[in-house]
Chain A
């Protein structure tokens, strides 16, 4: 399947392999990393960002595409929605059917609340389903939550909110226990010890996995549990605006049936935004590893209602997206491939960096190699080699099939056997480090009874996230949000519902000279090609 020039380069990769395998590439110093990031990381490209002109983060920057959505009006601005006609009336409304939303719904249900999930695709059509490599937790003897904290805090450039990061690491072992008790099949040895590996930037091997279906296995189990509990899941229905009451509390959401285009009203005592990420906004024209619905809807809903964002200007590009073949361009190649020993190698066969630097550093180094002519040309750009045959040499024949079967299958589909040949990778838009700001209990600081969980949250990871801390955060913060919302719902008294903030937002836009007919949230990316 590789082209002739790729084959030529593979020969160089093969020629240097034995020599490369004798030593571990040096890790960069803090200064080297910083200089590399400033030169090559997309977060430092000024043209990729624009200033937010209205709302709580006015004056700060965000990716151009996100700013565009923030500077758009509600699609309800000129609609006459009768809020007295209530279609759903619940204690807890969960917006989003991924790992965070499902965890929240299960815990809210466990606490006795009347909870419902609304999701614009199906439950489980989510980035959780696609997470491959694993989930972190400091549960081994040589490790501790404090060490986990240090790794994540440093990896996130010392910007994580301590109260959020503390929860993440302290509640990690219990998250694994909870999943294990729900029936998630973690990789264990015969004595029950977890099989754990390193991720980029970890100082202990604390990456728990279910082969390279870690997220899928977790999501399938959570979905099964949601259905077993008969929690209502309203699919193919988007939340398009939050509803507030006359006391300024959140009071539900206006929903849109994606198939009939009818609006519906959901009244709720508490609302949990668990809408995930933004990969489908294709910041700086990057391809993405994200699912079809990753369009930052929850950020828009929250922001328009008055909730501030945090670190909305920092994005994670996963170093190893598929660079070739084009049919799977941008798809995730799990970091576990490097955890298992594969090196990153340029077109001349040089291992130009340590394979397990943090993701922002690793991605920047790939971009540097390609910018300096050390990349391999592909039909859609360029890439560097991920020397996968090393895994079979290091771990023995059959290691790839046993530990990363999804990767093997994905490439075999296109005639590439990663056990025998290296694969071509280039960074892909993977994760929004920022999102809506919350406190330790999961509540937004500006709007009573509104909670956020999962990738839609900003501040847990700081300005870069370590592998395996996202599957962890959806469980930890999803569970907490569900419990907190169920508790809170018992004491909430809702006033009269309104959508006044939609009009107020339009006026703010107008006052800023940004009057517009554009609407947000985006809901679905515009991929259909039309000739006229």
Chain B
């Protein structure tokens, strides 16, 4: 008899093998998932889930695809949460403190409760990256939020109504576009290609017979 545990999906009890994740346990129980299931490997944030272990006070948040079931787990999925993304033109904004004040003014209402950090399914220091955003320190905000999968568990728990993942995305885009140093070799190569510097070489290699291509490929020098 395989080892089974009792889990409660939306309050209803199911007995499932103990080595399943919450997501595969729901499927074992007979659910056909439409919402609340995306990449199934912890990158997309579709399967935000909230649970409590029977008899314990603490509410926990997790990704259903990355979390093993436990005995007495009461599970509710959060397949959608109305996070509030503000729209802007990336070419028209500037990486200054003003932009956060205009687009996400509620971050300045943060009361420092740290509920966002406690709720993060990726163990990020969410409150800390919001603090960097408040001060216009976008590179630091970007660095601390890079692992965010946008599941929204932080926003669910925030008393100030902050949409943390959206703040992170803005900080990262500002960093990537405006604050990171320019890449000279990339700019040069794009120009060379636009000026047709590789046109004849590429046409030549496209015309070569397969036998010659095999020889070229098998004897090519590989950078150490």
Cα distance, A530 to B44, chains bound together (Å):
27
Q: Is the CB of B43 within 8 A of A406?
A: yes
Partner of B185, one of A147, A169, A194, A258: A194
Q: Is the CB of B32 within 8 A of A527?
A: yes
Query: What is the CB-to-nearest-CB distance from B145 to chain A, in angstroms, rounded to a whole number?
Result: 10
Minimum CB distance partner of A192 in chain B: B181
Q: Which B residues between 187 and 214 are near A, CB-CB below 8 angstroms?
A: 187, 189-190, 193, 198, 201-202, 205-206, 210, 213-214
Q: Is the CB of B202 within 8 A of A150?
A: no
Minimum CB distance partner of A146 in chain B: B201
Cα distance, A149 to B220, chains bound together (Å):
12
Q: Assuming A146-B198, A528-B31, is B85 touching A227 (CB within 8 A)? A: yes
Number of interface residues of B (CB under 8 A): 70
Cα distance, A215 to B44, chains bound together (Å):
11
Majority secondary structure of chain B interface residues (helix, strand, loop or mixed): loop
Is the CB of B21 closer than 8 A to any CB of chain A? yes
Q: Is the CB of A327 within 8 A of B21?
A: yes
Minimum CB distance partner of B20 in chain A: A327
Minimum CB distance partner of A194 in chain B: B183
Is the CB of B33 closer than 8 A to any CB of chain A? yes
Of the listed stretches A35-43, A135-143, A239-247, name the one at the interface; the rest are far from the partner chain: A135-143
Q: Is the CB of A130 within 8 A of B223?
A: no
Cα distance, A215 to B37, chains bound together (Å):
18
Q: Is the CB of B146 within 8 A of A185?
A: yes
Partner of B176, one of A153, A185, A211, A215: A185
Minimum CB distance partner of A205 in chain B: B223
Partner of A154, one of B29, B190, B214: B214
Q: Which residues of A contact B66 (CB under 8 A)?
A: 327-328, 410, 413
Minimum CB distance partner of B67 in chain A: A413
Q: How large is the interface on A (under 10, 10 to 19, 20 to 34, 35 or more residues)?
A: 35 or more
Cα distance, A528 to B33, chains bound together (Å):
8
Is the CB of A248 closer than 8 A to any CB of chain B? no
Q: Which residues of A contact B96 (CB under 8 A)?
A: none
Partner of B38, one of A121, A205, A210: A121
Q: Is the CB of A192 within 8 A of B180?
A: yes
Q: Which residues of B contact A184 (CB under 8 A)?
A: 176
Q: Is the CB of B186 within 8 A of A528?
A: no
Q: Which residues of A contact B88 (CB under 8 A)?
A: 228
Q: Which residues of B contact A327 (CB under 8 A)?
A: 19-21, 24, 66, 68
Is the CB of B87 closer than 8 A to any CB of chain A? yes
Minimum CB distance partner of B165 in chain A: A220
Q: Which residues of A contact B122 (CB under 8 A)?
A: 409
Q: Which residues of A contact B87 (CB under 8 A)?
A: 227-228, 230
Is the CB of A216 closer than 8 A to any CB of chain B? yes
Is the CB of B102 closer than 8 A to any CB of chain A? no
Is the CB of B160 closer than 8 A to any CB of chain A? no
Is the CB of A236 closer than 8 A to any CB of chain B? yes
Is the CB of B58 closer than 8 A to any CB of chain A? no
Q: Which A residues between 472 and 505 are near B, CB-CB below 8 angstroms?
A: none
Q: Assuming A149-B202, A203-B220, A327-B21, is B186 touching A180 (CB within 8 A)? A: yes
Q: Is the CB of A30 within 8 A of B40?
A: no
Q: Which residues of B contact A286 (CB under 8 A)?
A: none
Is the CB of B41 closer than 8 A to any CB of chain A? yes
Q: Which residues of A contact B177 (CB under 8 A)?
A: 180-183
Q: Is the CB of A146 within 8 A of B202?
A: yes
Q: Which B residues between 33 and 77 are near A, CB-CB below 8 angstroms?
A: 33-35, 37-44, 46, 66-68
Query: What is the CB-to-nearest-CB distance from A65 to chain B, in angstroms, rounded to a whole number?
Result: 18
Q: Which residues of A contact B38 (CB under 8 A)?
A: 121-122, 124-125, 129, 291-292
Q: Is the CB of A150 within 8 A of B146?
A: no
Query: What is the CB-to-nearest-CB distance from B66 to chain A, in angstroms, rounded to a whole number?
Result: 6
Q: Which A residues between 167 and 213 are near B, CB-CB below 8 angstroms?
A: 169-170, 173-174, 176-177, 180-186, 188, 190-194, 198, 203-205, 210-211, 213
Is the CB of B217 closer than 8 A to any CB of chain A? yes
Task: Scan A496-532; emit 1 where CB is below 8 A from any B CB, else 0.
Answer: 0000000000000000000000000000101111110
Query: What is the CB-to-nearest-CB distance from B134 to chain A, in angstroms, rounded to a whole number?
Result: 20
Q: Is the CB of A177 within 8 A of B19?
A: no
Task: Scan B124-147; emit 1 where CB is below 8 A from any A CB, else 0.
Answer: 000000000000000000100011
Task: Scan B164-183; emit 1 where CB is below 8 A from any A CB, else 0.
Answer: 00000100111111001111
Q: Which residues of A contact B (CB under 8 A)?
A: 29-30, 121-122, 124-126, 129-130, 137-142, 144-147, 149-151, 153-154, 158, 162-163, 166, 169-170, 173-174, 176-177, 180-186, 188, 190-194, 198, 203-205, 210-211, 213, 215-217, 220-221, 224-225, 227-228, 230, 236, 258-259, 289, 291-292, 326-328, 331-332, 405-406, 409-410, 413-414, 524, 526-531
| Complex A-B: 5 CB contacts under 8 Å | A139-B189, A149-B206, A183-B174, A292-B40, A327-B19
